[in-house]
Every structure is written in structure tokens, then in C-alpha cells.
Amino acid sequence: MTPFGARLRELRAERSMTQAELADRLQISAAYLSALEHGRRGTPSTGLIHQICAELDLIWDAADELLKLARISHPKIVVNTAGLSPDQTALANRLAQTIARLPPQLVADLHALLDKVPNVTKLRVRRSAGRGV
């Protein structure tokens, strides 16, 4: 499940809406909405995110939060380590191989550590077209 999918599911449940009801209002299939919530589909378009915000009556901070979560919720990513150091490449590979086994507290600690890194250059991450990490 992605951060976007988890939050979307919470918001929908808070409003006592079924997937079928929200999908109907958004004019998308319930299967697609389910795939978004379960992290089996990539980030939806900005337009669809705005529609979701409107249907769920999200404004300002809540809508901005959902948009930010969508940006970091692509379930399949590729990390391009070309031009990086061998240590950086090794770290990317180790993370890809072990991420499923990391305990929740360690994941939270890694997030906190990464939040301290200055954002000087663009991330070297691109979305995968069905390829593994």
C-alpha cells in the first residue's frame, strides 16, 4: 500500500463511502480506485487528485497533503545510480533488497534522517514502466 492509497482509504472511510460510491462520483471504475488504494497502480493524474479532493470536500492543507502523498507514492521506482559513488550504488541496492524486512521504527528513523539532507539537487528517481527495482 502506498502513502497516498492509505490516506485515500482513510478519508473515504471517514465519510462512510464505499469504493463503488466514490468511483461512481469520480467516473472511474471501482477496480481502478481499489488498485490506487492498495498501491497496485501508480500515481493518479493531478486532475484526478483534484477531483478526489472536491468529492471528499478537502480544502487547503488536507488537499495539499493528499497531493504531496501522491507524488511520493509510485509503487514501482527505479533508482538511477549512474555517476554516483560505489558506496551510493551499494546503498541503493541494499535498500532495494531489504526494504520489505525493515521494521517500522527503522523506516521512521530513516525518514527522519533523510529529512535532514539538504535538497540541493533534483532526485535521481524515475518511474518504472513495469520493471523491477
Model pLDDT, residue 132? 47
pLDDT of amino acid 43: 86
Are residue 53 and residue 110 in the same domain, yes or no?
no
Domain shared by 24 and 44, yes or no: yes
Residue 104 lies in domain: 77-127
| Same domain for 15 and 65 | yes
Q: pLDDT 10s per residue in the chain (133 long)?
A: 899 999 999 999 999 999 999 999 999 999 999 999 999 998 899 999 999 999 999 999 999 999 999 998 988 888 999 999 999 999 999 999 999 999 999 999 999 999 999 986 555 555 555 544 4
Helix, coil or strand: residue 127: strand
Return the bridge partners of 77, or none: 127
- Shared domain check, 82 and 64: no
Number of domains in the chain: 2
65 and 92 in a single domain? The answer is no
Environment class of residue 47 by beta-carbon count within 10 Å: exposed (0-12), middle (13-18) or buried (19+)? exposed
Contacts 24+ apart (CB under 8 A), 6-10: 6/37, 7/65, 7/66, 7/69, 8/36, 8/37, 8/52, 8/66, 9/37
